[in-house]
Chains A and B, each alone.
Chain A
Amino acid sequence: MLPFSFEWVWDAGHIVFMGGLWYSLSILGMGMTYCVIKTIIDINSNDQTENDHH
């Protein structure tokens, strides 16, 4: 449920529960995104290094 959903109410229950859920999902999502982006950068820099050696 998001704040634009018709069921949403701006009370502590919704903010704490749904905020906690989205907060956790954001950490996991951002963590995995970081890993994937870092991996692509690492691979590219490795390729670059190998090309430089050649």
Chain B
Amino acid sequence: MDSALIPKGVKRCPLPIFILGIVIIGIVLLWGVYAMILCWLKGLNQTNMNDYYGFALWIWADLAIIALGGGAFFTGLLRYIFGLDELKNIINYAVLIGFICYSSALLILAIDVGQPLRSWFIFWHANVHSMLTEVAFCLSCYFSVLAIEYIPLVLENRQIDKIPFFHHLGHNMHKVMAVFAATGAFLSCFHQGSLGGVAGVLYGRPFAYREGLLVWPWTFFLFTWSAAACGPCFTILITKITEFITGKKLVKDNVIDLLAKISGWMLGSYIIAKIIDTIYWATVTAPSLGFNLMDFYKDNSFYGIWILIVEIAVCGILPAVILLVPKFRQNKLLLYTAIILASIGVCLNRWVMVLQVMAAPVMSFDTWALYIPSWQEIATTILPVAYGIILIMISFRYLPIFPQEKELNSIE
């Protein structure tokens, strides 16, 4: 029924099955929308946030999906600025994933801000001393970049492409895409970094506080680095999940191998920097503020030293080694393990830098403040996942996302 909209030379599932899939995911989406409306109508009393947790599940989700969406800017940088031509076969999907991640982050922020009608205040009445202002500027600008990168893909739809204006527009946008990609990389470096900087400048919270370079704490650089390292891993992970669900090979192994190798180098160098940062913080910074390392990992039921070991060793060193050694990287099971661990690792890092920071006691009379999110917070955090799946389903069905699909899956 919709075959005129499907790209030429590829096969898609029957329309009823596609609609059934959309309906199933749509139910989850509606649950999230219901919770979102509750938050907007009744206010933030629908959440379990309090004076301890001004930053909670939503901010963690924001930071995590922004880091995972980092594959878009880093792959774009490699493709358009460093000229790695093989990556043209995965850049469309990286852009789509980035677009989903950043639109989701903005959606969550629109709920979290509590008074969305005043969202524009941060642009017009900007506090120029706040790292979060920089985040808001760069985030919204970079989302515009991702939209600009996604538009040519939409314009390549078989029917839209027949309209001369859109055909030429898509072609012209492709020609200047390097300018947009460079702008995107610049914006990404700053907002990824500033998200880390927000934690690093909290001198009243020794668990988060870091020294640094000029106005930027070390967490600024570590956040950008980790997003560039783990974002491409998430792109590979979603590509592999898509291949599994569709039962098709969508990207050639040499492309995945190249991206995985670059991720490995980024992750390896990041984890060395992270270890140095942790050792310096544990032996110099925290003691200078009256704390020992184990003060941050005892007297509570959840945040033990295990979390540090999992973040650095299991989700950092292990995937870096797998991705760096060609023999390991080319083993499918090990590759999947590495990209899953790297994706979990960056999410865990953001959890620690948002929620453990809030939970750890600061004053001698303080106790650990643990928090469990309300169902409304959970539903609105799952909402972007459902939205993302639906957008991927629609884009995969109607747009030529994978240039190698036709070659790898010839239909008679």
| A interface with B by C-beta (< 8 Å) | 1, 5, 7, 13-14, 16-18, 20-21, 24-25, 27-28, 31-32, 34-36, 38-40, 42-43, 46
The answer on a CB contact under 8 Å between A39 and B125 is: no
The answer on a CB contact under 8 Å between B124 and A21 is: no
Is B318 an interface position by the 8 A CB rule? no
Q: Which of B128, B171, B176 has the largest count of A CB atoms less than 10 A from its CB? A: B128
Categorize the interface residue count of chain B. 20 to 34
The answer on a CB contact under 8 Å between B172 and A39 is: yes
Closest 10 pairs (CB-CB, A-B): A13-B128, A17-B128, A39-B168, A35-B172, A39-B169, A42-B168, A24-B141, A38-B172, A21-B137, A35-B173
Interchain CA distance A13-B124 in the complex, whole Å: 14
Is B145 an interface position by the 8 A CB rule? yes
B144 in complex: contacting residue of A7, A13, A28, A42, CB < 8 Å: A28
Q: Which of A20, A21, A35, A42 has the largest count of B CB atoms less than 10 A from its CB? A: A35
Is B183 an interface position by the 8 A CB rule? yes
Given A21-B141, A24-B141, A32:B148 Cβ within 8 A:
yes
Q: In the complex, which residues of chain A have a beta carbon less than 8 angstroms from the beta carbon of B165?
A: 39-40, 43
Nearest CB of chain A from residue B149's CB, rounded to whole Å = 11
The answer on a CB contact under 8 Å between A18 and B126 is: yes
The answer on a CB contact under 8 Å between A42 and B172 is: yes
Nearest CB of chain A from residue B150's CB, rounded to whole Å = 13
A35 in complex: contacting residue of B133, B138, B176, CB < 8 Å: B176
Q: In the complex, which residues of chain A have a beta carbon less than 8 angstroms from the beta carbon of B141?
A: 21, 24-25, 28
Residue of A nearest to B164 (CB): A43
Q: List 30 A-B contacts (CB under 8 A).
A: A1-B123, A1-B124, A1-B125, A16-B128, A17-B128, A17-B133, A17-B134, A17-B137, A18-B128, A20-B137, A21-B137, A24-B138, A24-B141, A24-B187, A27-B183, A28-B180, A31-B148, A31-B179, A31-B180, A32-B148, A35-B169, A35-B173, A38-B168, A38-B172, A39-B165, A39-B172, A42-B168, A42-B171, A43-B164, A46-B164
Encoded as 1 (CB less than 8 Å from any A CB) or 0, chain B from 120 to 134 comes to: 000111101100011
Interchain CA distance A42-B196 in the complex, whole Å: 45
Q: In the complex, which residues of chain A have a beta carbon less than 8 angstroms from the beta carbon of B176?
A: 31, 34-35
Nearest CB of chain B from residue A7's CB, rounded to whole Å = 6
Q: In the complex, which residues of chain B have a beta carbon less than 8 angstroms from the beta carbon of A31?
A: 148, 176, 179-180, 183
Residue of A nearest to B144 (CB): A28
Residue of A nearest to B190 (CB): A20
Q: In the complex, which residues of chain B have a beta carbon less than 8 angstroms from the beta carbon of A34?
A: 172, 176
Q: In the complex, which residues of chain B have a beta carbon less than 8 angstroms from the beta carbon of A28?
A: 141, 144-145, 148, 180, 183
The answer on a CB contact under 8 Å between A43 and B128 is: no
Interchain CA distance A32-B125 in the complex, whole Å: 27
Further contacts, 15 of them, CB under 8 A, given A17-B126, A31-B183: A5-B124, A13-B128, A17-B133, A21-B123, A25-B141, A27-B183, A28-B141, A28-B144, A32-B148, A35-B169, A35-B172, A38-B172, A42-B172, A43-B168, A46-B164
Interchain CA distance A7-B141 in the complex, whole Å: 22
Q: In the complex, which residues of chain B have a beta carbon less than 8 angstroms from the beta carbon of A1?
A: 123-126
Residue of A nearest to B169 (CB): A39
Interchain CA distance A46-B165 in the complex, whole Å: 11
The answer on a CB contact under 8 Å between B129 and A13 is: yes
Interchain CA distance A13-B148 in the complex, whole Å: 29
Residue of B nearest to A21 (CB): B137
Interchain CA distance A50-B137 in the complex, whole Å: 46
Residue of A nearest to B145 (CB): A28
Encoded as 1 (CB less than 8 Å from any A CB) or 0, chain B from 137 to 153 comes to: 11001001100100000
Interchain CA distance A14-B134 in the complex, whole Å: 11
Interchain CA distance A25-B123 in the complex, whole Å: 12
